[in-house]
Amino acid sequence: MSFDELLAFAGRHLYLSLGLAGLTVALIYTEIARLFRGYKALRPAELTQLINRDNALVIDLSAIAEYEKGHIPSSRSVQPSQFDPESKLLAGAKQLPVVAVCRNGQASADAAKRLKKAGFEQVYWLDGGIAAWQQAELPLVKGRN
């Protein structure tokens, strides 16, 4: 296909071409924003390595009932409404790896953003949340820590 044929196609299908251009710009913007946000998404296997290698602090933002049904071993429960980067739990962890997790990854991504803004140096979130952890067939602990 030549460049002239592409231009002719774009001319005949203006809305389709504009839609493709818009999607391309949106994808590029999203990827660039992800690179500069200052916190990193982890897959379950990467989180396991971070916990074992660097003794990462894992903060679980699930509701108490959900946390008690099953959570990542050694994770600490913090209610989203009570999440504060300046709390006693997090006060000494500004230089340590801190990982935010929740059931599906949405609340933890927001928490990671708040931690980075508060000056935490190594901030992560579990992409896909506890659901991704379970899908990777990794163990959960029931009850409270």
pLDDT tier, 34 (very low <50, low <70, confident <90, very high otherwise): low
Is 33's pLDDT higher than 80?
Answer: no
Whole-prediction pTM: 0.75
Domain at 39-135: CATH code: 3.40.250.10
b/e 107-145 (16+ beta carbons within 10 angstroms → b)? bbbebbbebbeeebebbbbbbbbbebbeeeeeeeeeeee
Mean pLDDT of the chain: 88
- Three-state secondary-structure class, residue 76: strand
pLDDT at residue 9 above 90? no
pLDDT at 81: 82
Using one digit for the tens of pLDDT, what is the confidence trace for 63-119? 999 999 999 999 999 988 888 888 888 877 888 899 999 998 888 988 998 998 888
82 or 42, which is more confident: 42
Can you give the residue ranges of every domain in the chain? 3-35, 39-135
Q: Is 41 helix (H, G, I), strand (E, B) or coil?
A: strand
The pLDDT of 141-145, averaged and rounded, is 81
Which of 106, 124, 131, 113 is closest to 58 using CA atoms? Answer: 124
Residue 141, pLDDT score? 93
